[in-house]
Amino acid sequence: MFEKKDTVLILAPHIDDAEFGLGGTIAKLKEMGKDIHVAVFSMCEKSTPQGFEVGVLEQELYTSLEFLDIAKENIHAYDFEVRLFPTLRQDILEEMVVLNKKIDPDLVFMPSSSDIHQDHQTIYNEGVRAFKYSSLLGYEMPWNNFGFHSYVYVSLTKEQMDKKKKALKLYKSQAHRPYSNIEFLDALAKLRGTQIKHDFAESFELIRWVEK
């Protein structure tokens, strides 16, 4: 299904959302030779855990995406204030429009329509507006999803799944979060894999699919 999708863009409201939502699929797409861009809309400085210096989250972001073989020039970092995206939606939309003209993605991954986090909702809503002529898939974040339409599945090898987990381990400042648990990541990937008779998988909401 990704054969004609040469330029891929991932919209991540915050640092580590891309890796959590589709770290294994990123590894698979890189193996397929796709040109992958990641747009991160907040460096989340307000969310820096106690005991860590401000700026550590941004450093971990670049380290993790480098591990996933994302070129530095393909990382588009913005600094919108975390948890305030709804009040900044027009500015966010305008940045997305500029990015769309710059890279013209064939496929865009974004938070799903059922994601209840206010920042994630904003990225979904504005992402659909800005990239309505591209194929759109919504990634899964169970701790934020009230229901999830998993209509698209991407099978993963153990090596691709391991790469996702290793990328997330590079966010040492986020290790305290319950969803950073490796057992949880494995369980979700095995659940989605079982649904398609495969060892591991990531699932996505089908928002729009365009074959050009």
Q: What is the pLDDT of residue 190?
A: 98
What distance in Å separates the CA atoms of residue 212 and residue 75, rounded to the nearest whole number? Answer: 26
The pLDDT value given to residue 31:
98
pLDDT at 46: 82
CATH number of 7-208: 3.40.50.10320
In the chain, where the domains are located:
7-208
Residue 47, pLDDT score: 77
pLDDT, residue 123, reads: 98
User: Using CA atoms, how far apart are residues 88 and 94, in angstroms rounded to an integer?
Assistant: 10
Sites in the chain below the pLDDT cut of 70? none
Q: What is the pLDDT of residue 150?
A: 95
- How much is the pLDDT for 65? 98
Measured CA to CA, the distance from residue 36 to residue 18 in angstroms comes to 11
The per-residue pLDDT for 188 is 97
